[in-house]
Amino acid sequence: MTDDKKERGLYELYADDPERADYLVFGRRAHSDRRGFLKGAGLGAMGAMLGMAIPFHRNFPSGLIPAAMAEDTEIALFGGKDGLTLLNDRPINAETPAHLLDDAVTPTSRHFVRNNGVVPEIAHRMDASDWKLTIDGEVEKVLELSLDELKSKFKPVTLKLQLECGGNGRAAFNPPAKGNQWTVGAIGNAEWTGVRYADLLKAAGVKPSAIYTAHHSLDGHLSGDPSKTPISRGVPISKAMDPHSIIAYAMNGEPLPALHGFPVRTICPGWPGSTSQKWLSRIQLRDVVHDGPKMTGSSYRVPKFPVAPGTHVADEDYKIIESMPVKSLITTPQTNQTIKTRTLKVHGHAWAGDNVVKRMDISYDFGVTWVQADLKAPPNPYSWQEWYAEVTFPTRGYYEIWARATDDKGNMQPFAVNWNPKGYLNNSMHRIAVIVDA
Q: How far apart are CA 285 and CA 204, in angstroms?
A: 10
Q: Which residues contact 379 (CB under 8 A, 6 or more apart)?
A: 160
Q: Looking at per-residue confidence, does 34 or 429 come out higher?
A: 429
If you write DSSP's letter for every residue of 412-427 in order, what string do you get? Answer: B--SS----TT-----
Residue from 72, 28, 79 nearest 54 by CA: 28
If you write DSSP's letter for every residue of 116-139 in order, what string do you get? Answer: SSBPPHHHHHT--TT--EEEEESB
H-run or E-run covering 198: helix 197-204
**DSSP letter assigned to residue 256:** P
H-run or E-run covering 214: strand 212-217
Q: How far apart are CA 387 and CA 200, in angstroms?
A: 36
Q: How far apart are CA 348 and CA 431, in angstroms?
A: 12
With a cut of 60, say whether residue 295 has pLDDT above it.
yes
Q: How far apart are CA 138 and CA 212, in angstroms?
A: 10
Q: Tell me the pLDDT tens digit for each residue of 195-253.
A: 999 999 999 999 999 999 999 999 999 998 999 999 999 999 999 999 999 999 999 99
At residue 7, the pLDDT reads 39
Grouping H, G, I as helix, E, B as strand and the rest as coil, residue 55 is coil
Q: Tell me the pLDDT tens digit for each residue of 33-53.
A: 888 888 878 888 777 766 657
If you write DSSP's letter for every residue of 265-334 in order, what string do you get? Answer: EEE-TTSBGGGS-SSEEEEEEESS---STTSSTTTTEEESS---TT----GGGEEE--SPPPEEEEEESP
At residue 74, the pLDDT reads 44
At residue 27, the pLDDT reads 84
Sorting pLDDT into bands at 50, 70 and 90, what band is 122?
A: very high
What are the start-end ranges of the E strands in 43-152?
Answer: 85-89, 92-95, 113-114, 133-137, 143-145
Q: How far apart are CA 363 and CA 279, in angstroms?
A: 42
CA-based torsion, 74, 76, 83, 274: positive or negative: negative
Q: How far apart are CA 285 and CA 265, in angstroms?
A: 16
**DSSP letter assigned to residue 61:** B
In the chain, % helix, strand, coil (3-state, to 5) comes to: 20, 30, 50
Instruction: Answer for the pair 28, 62: CB distance below 8 angstroms, yes or no.
Output: yes
Half-sphere exposure at residue 58, Cβ-oriented, CA atoms within 13 angstroms: 0
Instruction: Answer for the pair 246, 265: CB distance below 8 angstroms, yes or no.
Output: no
**Bridge partners (DSSP) listed for residue 136:** 284
Q: Tell me the pLDDT tens digit for each residue of 46-92.
A: 777 666 577 778 888 888 767 556 544 444 456 678 899 988 888 98
Q: Looking at per-residue confidence, does 14 or 299 come out higher?
A: 299
At residue 52, the pLDDT reads 56
Q: How far apart are the first and last CA of the chain?
A: 47
Q: Tell me the pLDDT tens digit for each residue of 128-181.
A: 999 999 999 999 999 999 999 999 999 999 999 999 999 999 999 989 998 999
Omega before 107 within 30 of 0, i.e. cis: no
Sorting pLDDT into bands at 50, 70 and 90, what band is 16?
A: low
**Bridge partners (DSSP) listed for residue 277:** none
Sheet of 280-286: strand order equals: 143-145, 133-137, 280-286, 212-217
Mean per-residue pLDDT over the chain, rounded: 91
At residue 213, the pLDDT reads 98
List phi, psi (to 5°) of 88: -165, 140
- The distance of Cα 100 from the centroid of its chain, to the nearest Å, equals 16
- The distance of Cα 174 from the centroid of its chain, to the nearest Å, equals 23
With a cut of 70, say whether residue 4 has pLDDT above it.
no
| Portion of the chain with pLDDT greater than 90, in percent | 78
What letter represents residue 385's amino acid? Answer: Q
Q: Tell me the pLDDT tens digit for each residue of 393-419.
A: 999 999 999 999 999 999 999 999 999
What letter represents residue 66's amino acid? Answer: P
What letter represents residue 216's amino acid? Answer: H
